[in-house]
Structure formats: structure tokens, C-alpha cells
């Protein structure tokens, strides 16, 4: 079963794509948590951080470089932003296709609530 994000990458489901290259696709989150909320997704299906292979090292770096460039394009590089990767249940992962959240455009507050 292809993941939701594989279907977006394949053009089978609609999304507002803001970047695409041979390794990653970036699109707007459907339920944005802030004025800027972009998902940067590897084109190849990797379920979670636990499934990243050693040979994916440069792909992971590329995802961060794309996030950096999108932050500049969105005008939030100087005001700041947050990059998040959720993993599995306790991490709050909903879609099991690895993705980097780029979130900004407002003051985001503390990283997580302290118990
Ligand atoms: P996770 O919790 O897995 O780290 O984040 C999944 C994200 O995917 C959520 O922020 C959610 O709003 C977003 N999302 C879920 N379904 C869709 C969809 O069909 N289209 C888009 N663009 N985003 C989605």
C-alpha cells in the first residue's frame, strides 16, 4: 500500500507543492500549525527515522538544505523557525513516510510541554 505521501509525490493526490527535485518533494501541510508549515519528504519511501539507512546520509542532509532554502524563500530565516521529525507513537507520528516539518511565521513557544 503506498503511503499518503507517496501518492502526493506521484501526483495521485492533490497538494500545494513548493519544491520538487530528484530526491525530495516539499508541500504545504493540510492542517498548518503556523503561518508557514511545509513538509519536506524524501521521494523514496522511508517509514520512520528508525528505517533510515547509512547510505541515506546525504539524502537527510539534502532535506535540511531544502528546508533552509524554503525558510529563506518564505521570509522566516531571520525571525526563526523549527524543524521537526516525529518518530512512531510517542513521537506523535501520523504518516509513516519520513518527513521534516518546517514550521514558522510566528513565535512558537517552548519546544515541548514540560511534564
Ligand atoms: P506527523 O504527525 O506524521 O509528523 O505529521 C503528519 C503531517 O501530515 C500532519 O501535520 C498533517 O497535518 C499532515 N497531513 C496529513 N494528511 C495530509 C494530506 O493529505 N495532505 C497534506 N498536505 N498534509 C497532510
Are 62 and 24 in contact, with CB atoms under 8 Å apart? yes
| Ligand 1: centre distance to CA 99 (Å) | 9
All structural domains of the chain, each given as residue ranges with its CATH number in brackets, are 4-104 (3.30.428.10)
What is the pTM assigned to this prediction? Answer: 0.97
Query: What's the rounded Cα separation, in Å, for the pair 99 and 30?
Result: 14
Q: Does the CB atom of residue 92 touch ligand 1 within 6 A?
A: yes
pLDDT in tens, 83-92: 999 999 999 9
pLDDT in tens, 2-28: 999 999 999 999 999 999 999 999 999
Q: Does the CB atom of residue 15 touch ligand 1 within 6 A?
A: yes
| Ligand 1: centre distance to CA 95 (Å) | 7
User: Residues, the chain, total?
Assistant: 115
Amino acid at each position: 500500500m503506498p503511503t499518503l505521501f507517496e501518492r502526493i509525490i506521484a501526483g495521485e493526490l492533490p497538494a500545494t507543492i513548493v519544491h520538487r527535485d530528484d530526491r525530495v518533494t516539499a508541500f504545504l501541510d493540510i492542517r498548518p500549525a503556523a503561518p508557514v508549515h511545509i513538509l519536506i519528504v524524501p521521494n523514496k519511501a522511508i517509514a520512520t527515522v528508525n528505517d533510515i539507512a547509512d547510505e541515506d546520509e546525504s539524502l537527510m542532509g539534502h532535506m535540511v538544505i531544502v528546508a533552509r532554502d524554503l525558510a529563506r524563500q518564505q521570509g522566516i530565516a531571520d525571525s526563526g523557525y523549527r524543524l521537526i521529525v516525529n518518530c512512531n507513537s510517542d513521537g506523535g507520528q501520523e504518516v509513516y513516510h519520513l518527513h521534516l516539518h518546517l514550521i514558522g511565521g510566528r513565535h512558537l513557544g517552548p519546544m515541548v510541554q514540560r511534564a
